[in-house]
Structure 1
Amino acid sequence: MKTPGGGHTTNYADTLITAAPDTRAVAGSHPPTGKGSVAERQFALLHGHDYELTSDDVLFTVSADRSGVPDDERHAAREAFFSTGQPCLRTSPLAKTYGWGFHFDADSRVALVAVDSPRYAELVEDDAVTKHPAMKSRR
């Protein structure tokens, strides 16, 4: 999506990204730790931090951390990062492999929601919430 300023965004509002249709996960699980994977880093930013960050915040932070972008260069790096389209959280391994959905509030802040939780079931049934499935792992 493009922003009014011409940049791109991965943010949604009042939306649930559901787990991938082909996921084998039946519950939200913690990705393996210690390797610095995308899943591990996204999980660390989001788990226990409901509605604090946007998708753009999460995706840029993970990319910048993995690339070693210094703090004093992050503003310019973020502008460059979003000057072109970026894959959104529908491509996240958390939704494809580890049994998590992403709920976005009206302000585009995101929360992790385990597929086996009552909250996930409520959001799936709520007609006021737009739903988009995560991308399939296989074609």
Structure 2
Amino acid sequence: MTLIIDTFVQVAQDCPVTTGVVPTTKPSAKPSIHVLQYELLSADPYRYTIDDLIYEVHVRHKEYPEETVAKDADRIRAELFSKSHPCMRASTEQYRKFVEGTSSTPKLVYAMRNKRA
């Protein structure tokens, strides 16, 4: 596994959406994956690598007990990453600052396109 740091993933170039909204979950439902992603990233920006975020969301969404996570973290992670995962969703006010900025840090890359070019 290659660790990529100081990289900001921009929205795919063919994304039809021009603005983002804070994701929500129905009051009676458990938080969805996109809500968990948003909560974790907005509460602690820059803490997670993409793999760490996917893992943390997975164990929270599946509601693994803390004891199981502590004991079986390596097994859970191996099973989780034995298959591919969809790209992330992203949108914040800070997004525009990153993509319009002049600094070379962080490196800017685009997410995978929704359709082939």
Q: Give the alignment's TM-score, normalised by structure 1.
A: 0.61
User: Relative contact order, CA 8 A, sep 6+: which one is greater?
Assistant: 2
> Quick one: distance in 1 between partners of 2:34 and 2:55?
14
> Quick one: distance in 1 between partners of 2:112 and 2:68?
32
Query: Equivalent residue for 1:43?
Result: 38
Radius of gyration: which is bigger? 2
Q: Secondary structure at the match of 2:39?
A: helix
> Quick one: distance in 1 between partners of 2:17 and 2:65?
36
Q: Give the alignment's TM-score, normalised by structure 2.
A: 0.70
Tell me which amino acid in the other structure corresponds to 1:13.
I
Q: Which of 14, 20, 23 in structure 2 is aligned with 1:22?
A: 14
Q: Structure 1 residues 47 and 60 mapped into 2: Cα distance closer, same or farther (>3 Å)?
A: same
- Structure in which a larger fraction of residues adopt helix: 2
- Structure in which a larger fraction of residues adopt strand: 1
Deviation at 1:23, TM superposition (A): 1.5
Deviation at 1:51, TM superposition (A): 2.1
Count of aligned pairs between the two proteins: 111
Q: Does residue 54 in structure 1 map to residue 33 in structure 2?
A: no
Query: Equivalent residue for 2:4?
Result: 12
> Quick one: distance in 2 between partners of 1:18 and 1:51?
15
CA-atom RMSD, angstroms? Answer: 2.9
